[in-house]
Every structure is written in C-alpha cells, then in structure tokens.
Amino acid sequence: MKIVSLPILLFSLAFTVVSCDHDKDANQPKVQIPASIAPFATPKPQLPPDSGPPPAFDSARAMQYVKEIVAFGPRPIGSANHKKVEDYLLAHLKGDEVENDVFTADTPEGKLPVHNIVARFPGTKDGIIIIASHYDTNYPLRGTSFVGANDGGSSSALLLEFANQLRGKPRPGYSIWLVWDDAEEAIKPDGSGGLRQEMPFEKDSLYGITHLAEKWQADGTLKRIRAFLLADMVGDADLNIEHDSNSTPWLEAVVYEAATRLGYQSHFFARTMTVSDDHLPFLKREVPSADFIDFDYGYNDVFWHTTQDTVDKLSPKSLGIVGATMLETINILDKMDPLPPK
C-alpha cells in the first residue's frame, strides 16, 4: 500500500498550535479541529440499535497464525516460501467452499504467478460482503530477511480466524467472502523500504485484487457485493487505525460506530490519510469500501517495509480489536436496509 498524500490539514493544525501559543486570548479555543479529521462528525447514516453480544474472536489463535505464517520466511510472489504459505492457508480452509484464482501477471520483472484464495461463507440475506487481505511480502525486499509480520502477516491471520468464526451454519445476514489476495506489493521499488523509486506504486501493484475485481465485474458478481472491507497492517501493539479519505464516508462512519459500540474508538481515526491500497479497484467500480490500516507502525512508521517488521512489534489485543470491530461492522450492515449508495 501507499500513502498518496500526507494530510496537509495536520500540518496546518500543527502550525495553528504553534501560533496559538503566542495568542494570549485564553477564551479562544487553542485548536480548531477541521471537520475533515473528525469523520464521526460527518452525517451519519441511519443505524440500527445496538443489540446482541459483542462478536466472538479468538485473538490468541489469530496471533498464533501470524507466527506460523512468518515462520515460513519471506514470501514474495513466485518463491518457494510463497507456495508453502498458499498450502498453509488452503490447509486451514479444508472443507470450506474455496476458489483458487490463479493467473500469470505481466509485471516489470516479467511474468509472475499470482494466486488469490477466496473462501465463501453463505448467509441468509441476498448480497456479499468481502473481507480482504494480501498475503505476499514486498518483492523488492525479497533478498532480505523481510517477513512482513504486520504487513501481510497480521491481516492474513485475522482472516483465518474469521473463517473459524464463520464456519458451520449459514449466518443470519449477508454472505461473507474472505479473500487472501496476492501480489498487492509493488514489483519494482516504489520509493519505500529505503529503496529509490523506479516505478510509481499505482502502475505496478494490486495485481491480484485488480484481477478479481475485473473478473467479478465480467461475471456479474460485483453487483451482489454490498461492501468491501480491507485489513492491512492491523497487528501493531500500538494500534491506530487511520481514517482513510479514499474509503467510502458512510462506511467509515459505520466502522467508527462499530468501534464505539465495543469501546474501541480510541484506536480509530485519530488522523486522516489518503491511502492507496487493495480497495482501489473496488472503489473504482462503485463498491462501498473501507480500509482498516494502521500506518503508524513504530515512530513515523519506521518499521514499515523494513526487516524490523517482526512479530515482537505485534499484540494479540490489536488483532482482537480489529477483528471484533470488523465483525461488528458487518452486524450493523446486516441490519441496515437499504444500505446507502456509494
């Protein structure tokens, strides 16, 4: 993923604080919070009442999955480790309705194999909610010990635990399709990981999820998708999920409501960013989408796309917060009839 633009608003906010320090008028508020960094202040959609117990999510088991995925080592596309992780994911989905979406991507490094894995869990209501996570590790860092514990590992493990919660009888709501998408990461250096940019992220990334969006548009599936929820970098022990200005505003409001109902709102939306990630191909096709991403991974995001992205930086508690909030978001969506348009 990539941040397209860091929020200018925050910069101007910081400037406001400095200038206010010299302002002797104590009656004036020190800082004006712009409405755009307070998403919960935007018009809320009609929401159903809070009902039912909080969603079940086994965060210790999710953390164990992160450790097991990371233990395979770096898993860039086309590698032997990547194949081992494919097999690992599929072994955990044995008996579930699974689709393997396998194709060859034309990349700036030539033709490379891509393998999306989709697990479908039926609901009683017409329509589908997608929960997606990429599982490949950064390709330009393939010669290093980069294992992407948070970047690709945490969210892939999260989805495995969702599968445990969803398996069994049809859920009383929308069908849920879990998508472990592949080749999210850029193939040529995109300016991250301490490497000089050779190609913009936008032109050389999101291979797997773009393929699925195109395929589902062609076969009519896309029309049945009510929402696309994305998880990326969700395991940081110091969890701060961003408010993403690319994501669909009403869906972000539902996410914040879900977090608030569970008492987790302090981990959500303290700042606004513009994030380019796996949700873009679905946003482009008018599917309401929200990215659950924490782009504050170590001070100033210092662990992102470095060999320091290791399991010791993560916490099962964070996986539990994101897991329960995603499931609560879906519980709310199930009861919103009709859902707002994009």
Residues near Zn ion, by CB under 5 A: 151
Q: Least separation, in Å, of the C-beta of 309 and Zn ion?
A: 9
Nearer CB in complex with Zn ion: 151/252: 151
Q: Are strands 2-5 and 97-107 parallel, antiparallel or unpaired?
A: unpaired
What residue has token string 């009656």?
27
Q: Least separation, in Å, of the C-beta of 149 and Zn ion?
A: 12
Pairwise CA distance, residues 233 & 326, whole Å: 14
Nearer CB in complex with Zn ion: 151/257: 151
Pairwise CA distance, residues 340 & 45, whole Å: 7
Q: Least separation, in Å, of the C-beta of 138 and Zn ion?
A: 5
Nearer CB in complex with Zn ion: 134/226: 134
H-state helical runs in 191-241: 207-218
Nearer CB in complex with Zn ion: 39/153: 153
Spell out the residues 6+ positions from residue 199 whose beta carbon is closer than 8 angstroms to its own: 108, 186, 187, 188, 189, 190
Q: Least separation, in Å, of the C-beta of 151 and Zn ion?
A: 4
Q: Least separation, in Å, of the C-beta of 305 and Zn ion?
A: 6
Q: Least separation, in Å, of the C-beta of 189 and Zn ion?
A: 12
Pairwise CA distance, residues 324 & 162, whole Å: 10
Pairwise CA distance, residues 287 & 11, whole Å: 31
Q: Least separation, in Å, of the C-beta of 80 and Zn ion?
A: 20
Q: Least separation, in Å, of the C-beta of 72 and Zn ion?
A: 17
Q: Are strands 110-121 and 171-181 parallel, antiparallel or unpaired?
A: antiparallel
| Residue of 257, 178, 260 lying closest to 212 (CA atoms) | 178
| Residue of 151, 195, 144 lying closest to 304 (CA atoms) | 151
Nearer CB in complex with Zn ion: 216/304: 304
Nearer CB in complex with Zn ion: 151/181: 151
Q: Least separation, in Å, of the C-beta of 30 and Zn ion?
A: 37
With 0-12 / 13-18 / 19 or more C-beta atoms within 10 angstroms meaning exposed / middle / buried, residue 265 is middle
DSSP strand E in the chain: where? 2-5, 97-107, 110-121, 123-134, 171-181, 225-232, 241-244, 268-276, 289-293
According to DSSP, residue 267 is labeled G
Nearer CB in complex with Zn ion: 151/244: 151
Which pair of tokens denotes residue 220? 């009519």
Q: Minimal CB distance to Zn ion: which residue?
A: 151
| Residues 95/126, Cβ–Cβ less than 8 Å | no
What is Dmax (Cα atoms) for the chain?
68
Nearer CB in complex with Zn ion: 151/236: 151
Nearer CB in complex with Zn ion: 151/291: 151
